[in-house]
Chains A and B, each alone.
Chain A
Amino acid sequence: MPKQDRGRDLIRIYEMMLKIRLFEERVISLYPKEEMKTPVHLCVGQEAIAAGVCRNLTDKDYVFTNHRCHGHCLAKGMSMSSIMAELYGKRAGCCKGKSGSMHLSDPDKGILATSAIVAGNIPIAVGAALSLKLRRRGGIAAVFFGDGAADEGAFYESLNFASLKKLPVLFICENNFYATNSRQETRQPLDNIFKRGGIFGIKGFRCDGNDAVKVFDLSRGLVEKIRKGSGPYLMECRTYRWKGHVGPDCDFEKGCRPKYEHDAWVKRCPVRKLEGILLKKGALTGKGIENMRRRITREITKAEKFAKKSRFPASSELYDDVYWKE
């Protein structure tokens, strides 16, 4: 890829990370009003992975995300208004008020459905990749999951089958070291998720998930290889969520995690890191960032207004879409 394109990619990635950060911060500020009646699993601190990986994907590629899905959905191009309306449980939400925060989806953007069962989305992504292969269509399936999903059998069943059938799938583990409040080392004897495809013949890579440049470069290379038919691949991005497992609070206040750990990761903020790189390079200016921030804030405010003024679904819609109608 020419150098200038890469520079543009990094600016777009930065913009997306900022968008995800500001979106989540708006959710945090609105949440105490209790108008958004849905459990939110926020991805503040993990933005670089969604933005960095999805920059390499198109609408024809599938993304399968999980309960912590806001960032992935924004990065894959879903409409912010339809997401916000869904968080408010409105008819104009992306899933007509049937998904809430945890199951955001939009087939036109390649997000066919979103599961909040840990690792439940991994075999489904592999199946979507199987469909791409059987139909000889281009495109890949990318699946995001946490370190908790690496505890589940479905993860290994998926690695085995994806390798067996040489499917176009990219496995992305966002290792934030916690499954709810359980630390990785209390659940797993070895800290080696990226190596766990190895026994099935899948090459794995580890990178700093708070370094958007590294995430982008690594995923770009893997996506290109998968498009050429040499997939699947596994990448583990090490990161940290700033908020608790669920809700807008910082759970160290409740003693779930040590504060010093949280503070150390906040110092390694992925948004500021990329911002620093781009400013240093002269790719962005302080004023440019200010404008960008203002533009995004306007978009979020618009989405919030849209969500608030939208109507709830009618009670009779309870029975809609239990079964698919041709």
Chain B
Amino acid sequence: MPWTNVAVGRALKGRYSADKPASGRTLNYREALREALYQALKRDSRVFILGEGVDDSAGVFGSTVGLHKDFPGRVFDTPIAENGLTGFAVGAALAGMRPVLVHMRMDFLPLSFDQILNHAAKLCYMSGGMSNVPLVIRAVIGRGWGSAAQHSQSLQAMFMHMPGIKVVAPSSAYDAKGLLLSSIADGNPVIFIEHRWLYDMKGGVPEKEYFVPIGKGVIRRPGKDATVVAVSLMVNEAAKAAKELKDGGIDIEIIDPRSLVPFDEKIVVDSVKKTGRLVIADMGWRSGGAAEIILGRIHGKIRRYLKADVQIVALPDTPTPACPRLEKAFYKGSGDIVKAVRKAYGLRKK
């Protein structure tokens, strides 16, 4: 299976503003995650990592590999009992620890919805702010190669619906490290979303610890004609779309919100003020999805600047199919973003 050979990162090289600082040292996304975990474990004795396979030789696609040897007893495998497991992590967090719980597939999180929704998200509020749950849940999303309906889901919208939870989705190696360190340091439950197609993406990653603020978006590519808000993997697809659109004379601005809750409304509103056109690209379903939630949040603030209807690029409301032909009809990519931007211009074809 080509899980580890997807070189989508290459398409981006030099095409959008890289994270700064370009320290000269580059790491890929999975190495950046591992470095963040290593540094968090080293700095803070309250941090520990649990989840199915976190100490096996593959180490969650390389992101935890060998950590159990560096930190004996603090990186450990668990029973396959997602709800219980999440409860153990919630309890440990309540009692002063900083657990990082890892799920190899986001699809397994619904098994632990009771602990996430009824407990992690609410205990701070229910206790009148006397207790808190500093918990990070790493949720890995897959795509393609027949992953089908139960191994490919992007469920971020479900977590965006739950007050009390933060949701982040870094798209670059730099942010993967900086946001993971911020998430571990945060006093709240954070769903940390990683798309597996990002794991081989390279980027400048400083060696020292640094913290990317949760709730702050970034402009990946400045442009003047249309704003494309792209979530996680869709940032890459938007970067590819930018090239194609540029050849057709349309200059798009790509915004990577990086964190979905809290959401940086200002960066989007300011951009639309300038461009007058908005496309939101997410890798989840259309109905009640992240794109619709984002649009709902900001629509009142951007309406008067809009020169065209807002376009949403999101998955059709069907479960993920398995065979290649249906997958092609299902998943969204740069071509769909190009189409959406052109539609915002009232253009049908080139």
Contacts and interface: CB of A to CB of B under 8 A. Distances in A.
Interface of A: 62, 64, 93-99, 103, 105-107, 112-115, 117, 120, 122-132, 134-135, 141, 153-154, 157-158, 160-161, 164, 320-326
B187 to A, nearest CB: 4
Contacts of A126: 84, 87-88, 91
B318 interface: no
A154 B87 contact: yes
B153 interface: no
B96 A323 contact: no
Nearest to B82: A157
A114 B118 CA distance: 11
B91 A321 contact: no
B125 interface: yes
B128 interface: yes
Nearest to A139: B95
A278 to B, nearest CB: 36
A124 B112 CA distance: 13
B95 A132 contact: yes
B110 to A, nearest CB: 14
A321 B350 CA distance: 52
B175 to A, nearest CB: 21
B55 to A, nearest CB: 14
B33 interface: no
B82 to A, nearest CB: 9
B67 to A, nearest CB: 15
10 contacts: A94-B130, A112-B95, A117-B114, A120-B87, A129-B91, A130-B97, A153-B81, A157-B85, A164-B79, A322-B163
Interface string B99-133: 00000000000000011001100011111111111
Given A160-B81, A324-B188, A105 B87 contact: no
Given A120-B118, A120-B119, A123-B87, A157 B79 contact: yes
Given A117-B114, A124-B91, A128-B91, A98 B83 contact: no
Contacts, number: 159
A174 B187 CA distance: 34
B74 A123 contact: no
A123 B129 contact: no
A103 B91 contact: no
Contacts of A99: 126-128
Contact of A321 (B87, B125, B133, B134): B125
Among A113, A114, A120, A325: residue with most chain B CB under 10 A: A113
A271 B220 CA distance: 70
B164 interface: yes
A62 B129 contact: no
Given A98-B128, A129-B91, A135-B46, 12 more contacts: A95-B126, A95-B130, A99-B127, A113-B119, A115-B118, A120-B118, A123-B86, A127-B88, A127-B89, A127-B91, A131-B95, A324-B133
Contacts of B130: 94-95, 105-107
A103 B127 contact: yes
A125 B48 contact: no
Contacts of B132: 324
Contacts of A95: 126-128, 130
B128 A94 contact: yes
Nearest to A320: B129
A127 B124 contact: no
B123 A97 contact: no
B94 A134 contact: no
Given A112-B131, A123-B88, A131-B91, A157 B81 contact: yes
A93 B126 CA distance: 12
B88 to A, nearest CB: 4
A234 to B, nearest CB: 16
Contacts of A98: 125-128
B92 interface: yes
A112 B94 contact: yes
Nearest to A106: B130
B54 interface: no
Contact of A112 (B79, B88, B127, B129): B127
B297 to A, nearest CB: 16
Nearest to B118: A117
A106 B126 CA distance: 11
B290 interface: no
A125 B84 CA distance: 11
B268 interface: no
B90 interface: yes
B346 interface: no
B100 to A, nearest CB: 13
Nearest to A96: B128
A322 B128 contact: no
B73 interface: yes
A204 B216 CA distance: 52
A123 B96 CA distance: 16
B164 A322 contact: yes
Nearest to A162: B88
B57 interface: no
B93 interface: yes
Contact of B164 (A117, A153, A323): A323
Contacts of A112: 94-95, 123, 127, 131
